[in-house]
Structure formats: structure tokens, C-alpha cells
Amino acid sequence: MVLIGKKIDVGATRCARMGFTLVELLVVIAIIGVLVGLLLPAVQAAREAARRMQCSNNLKQFGLANHNYHDTYNALPFRRGGTCCWQSGAPGGINNAGRLSAFVSLMPFYEQGAMYDLIRAGDPAAGISPGGPYAWNSWGVWNNAPGVVLCPSAAGGFSHDRSHNYAFSMGDSVTGLNPGYTGDNRGVFGQATRFAEIIDGTSNTIMMSERLGSQTNGGPTTVGLNQVEAVQGIANSVAGSNTNPQICMTPAVVTGRFFTAGLTVKGRWGHQYTDGQAERVGFNTVLPPNSASCSSGDNPNSDNTVALLPPTSRHPGGVNVLMADGAVRFVSQTIDTGNLAAPPVNSGFSPYGVWGGLGSKNGGETVGEF
């Protein structure tokens, strides 16, 4: 009996030592909660961080390609150029309508020399002249876009074999975007720019950036409530946005993340990397990154000469940009954009703050930290 009693005693004290009180349990749960709360977002963000790294690496490749192109030809490529010209009623193969994008010119410099040679040769037997067919056409040679023109973060758009996610800078110019090589184009990609003409300094001037493909591939449709994301489409006929870019940020154009219901929005961006139109492969540094795109014009295709085309991406908080010196930087979407209600200028300081100053190649602005 005594022995049994002792045994029970020992067992009871052991039980008291091994058990947890409610408070201890709560503390442990709280610590686990904190650790999970800290680590889980980090694990999820690691995927996007990896995608972003690939996107910025592609930009770096384009930086090298542009510099090697400049070393070879002593100038940067035209954003839009080629064999001339479109003719009414003629078959699409007679020339490329002077609209090949810089992605084609740069091909030999990002290891797509074979495709470049095929485009240069054309296909005379099939009625396609050297230089390829009209740049907006489907053609077997260029229908399989090189992987370097795609950013893996840029999901959610309409995609096909000619989609792309990178864009050439038109600076803080809003008008005269097409053809883009006449008149004053304040960005790096205008008329065969030489590095010597980037007077603001190559480390203070943006050369390329990213843009998400559009939600559809086609002309304008009237959008409904919460239907088309503002970062993807281009709103047509936004009157006054050519002289007052800020109109493109008002509730009349943007409702939450989406275009306001009733607007006519088109999906032309990111669907034809070979076509050099502004609304295909261009961006300007007026509206901050990841804002809506607008045009005061009403062209249903990609041919508006006036447009606000900010770079857009799925990276949280901003976009990657390639500076003219080859550096890749991340620009926040809250970057200083100065006075967006001011009309665009053709010379001198950009009215659009640090962002506009980074876009212009010869504005004379001092650009601080960004």
C-alpha cells in the first residue's frame, strides 16, 4: 500500500512538471504566430522577387544590345523605321511600311541574328520583300517572339506568340509620337540618337522600361464596371488629356484599379513586338508608373500620335527601368511627377518633376535621388 502510495505520489509530481499551463501555451502560440506572420509573406514574395530578377535581367540584356548596336553603328536604333511605304490596295508583302520596331534592329545584338537574317532576306517566292511584310502582320519568320522580350511577372494580359513586355522611351513627349523621328522627341528613342546627344547624362536618362500587355488584342470597346484594369488598356478619346495629362488620373477615367465604366478602351499594347508604333512599343515618362494610359485621339488602331503611355508592371509598387548607361533601377510609382496639369513642353525643363526629367535626354534638369 505504502509502495503504491509512493508511486502515485511520484506520478503526480511528474504530471505537474510535464504539463503546460494555459498561459505557456498561449505564449508559444503567439510566438509561432509571429514567426509564421513574418516568414509566410517572405516565402510568397520570394517568387515575385525571382520573377522580377528575370525581368530586370532581360532589361540588362537590352542595355548591352543597345550599347553594342551603338558601338557598331555609332547611333541607337530608331524606335520605328524600315522599308517604305504603305500603299492603298497593295498586298501586305511589298514592304514593312516603315514601321519595324527597334526590337528587330537590335536582334543581332541579343543573339537573334538568325531571325534578323531571315527578316532581311524576306521571302520573294511568297511575295514578301526583303525586310518583311507590313510590320503589324502575322508572318511565320517573326511569329515566335524571342524569350527575352517577355517578363514572367507580366501575367493577366492577352498573350500569343508575338506578345512582349518591354518598351522604348519617348521621354516626356506627349505629341508627335508617330512616326517619332520627326520633330522634337525628347526621349532616347527618336531619330537615331547618339550617346553624345544625351546631354542630361546617360546615368540620368531612362532608355527602356516595362509594360503589361493589354487585356485584349483589338480596337476600342466600351468597358463596363470593374472590367478592364487601368494598367493594361489605353482609353481613347479622353478629351483634354493632351494638354492636361492629370485628367487621365481623375475619377472620370479611373475607378479603383479599373477604367471607369463607359469609356472606350482599346487593347493594342504588347501584341506585336515587330511594330514600332508608340502604342505598340513605346512609353512616356509623364504619368507615374502603373497609372492608366489615355489618348485624346480617337484612332481605333495603334496609330494615335498623341498618347500618355506610362510603364506598367505587376511588380509591387513600381517598375524596372533601364538607364541609358546600362544600369537597371527600380522606380517607385510614387516618384515625383511635378505639375501634371501643365501642358507638355518641347524644350527646356520638364514640368513633370523627377520622372519627366529622367525621361528627357536634353532637358537640363538636375535629377536627385529617386
Partner 1 sequence: MTRIVSRSLLILVSYCLLPGCGPGVPSDRPATYPVSGTVTMDGQPVANATLSFQLTDASRGAAGVTDDQGRYDLTTFEPGDGAVPGEYLVAIMKYDAPSQGAAVSEDDPNYDPNVTESVAKNLLPQRYASVETSGLKVTIIEEKNMEVNFELTE
For partner 1, give the closer residue by CB, 61 or 221. Answer: 221
Q: Where are the beta strands (DSSP E) in 245-317?
A: 254-255, 258-259, 264-267, 282-283, 293-294
Residue 281 CB, nearest distance to partner 1 (Å)?
A: 15
For partner 1, give the closer residue by CB, 77 or 338. Answer: 338
Contact 128, 135 (CB under 8 A): no
Query: Residue 208: beta bridge partners?
Result: 168, 322
For partner 1, give the closer residue by CB, 19 or 251. Answer: 251
Task: Give residues in contact with partner 1 (CB under 8 A).
Answer: 21, 23-24, 26-27, 30-31, 33-34, 37-38, 86, 88, 92, 97, 99, 136, 218-220, 236-237, 239-240, 243-244, 246-247, 249-255, 264, 296-306, 317, 332-334, 338-342, 351
Task: Annotate 226-265 with b (16+ C-beta within 10 A) or e (fewer).
Answer: eebbbbbbbbbebeebbebbbbbbeeebbeeebbbeebbb
Residue 51 CB, nearest distance to partner 1 (Å)?
A: 19
Q: Work out whether the CA dihedral 109, 321, 153, 236 comes out positive or negative.
A: negative
For partner 1, give the closer residue by CB, 106 or 340. Answer: 340
Residue 323 CB, nearest distance to partner 1 (Å)?
A: 22
Task: Annotate 112-145 with b (16+ C-beta within 10 A) or e (fewer).
Answer: beebbebbeebbeeeebeebbbbbbbebebbeeb
> 3-state class of 358 per DSSP?
helix
Report the alpha-carbon distance of residue 98 to residue 271 in Å, rounded: 18
For partner 1, give the closer residue by CB, 152 or 218. Answer: 218
Residue 351 CB, nearest distance to partner 1 (Å)?
A: 7
Residue 366 CB, nearest distance to partner 1 (Å)?
A: 15
In angstroms, the Cα distances linking 334 to 79, 220, 319, 330, 331 are 28, 29, 11, 12, 8
Residue 306 CB, nearest distance to partner 1 (Å)?
A: 8
Q: How many CB atoms lie within 10 A of CB 98?
A: 19
Residue 54 CB, nearest distance to partner 1 (Å)?
A: 23
For partner 1, give the closer residue by CB, 67 or 280. Answer: 280
For partner 1, give the closer residue by CB, 25 or 53. Answer: 25
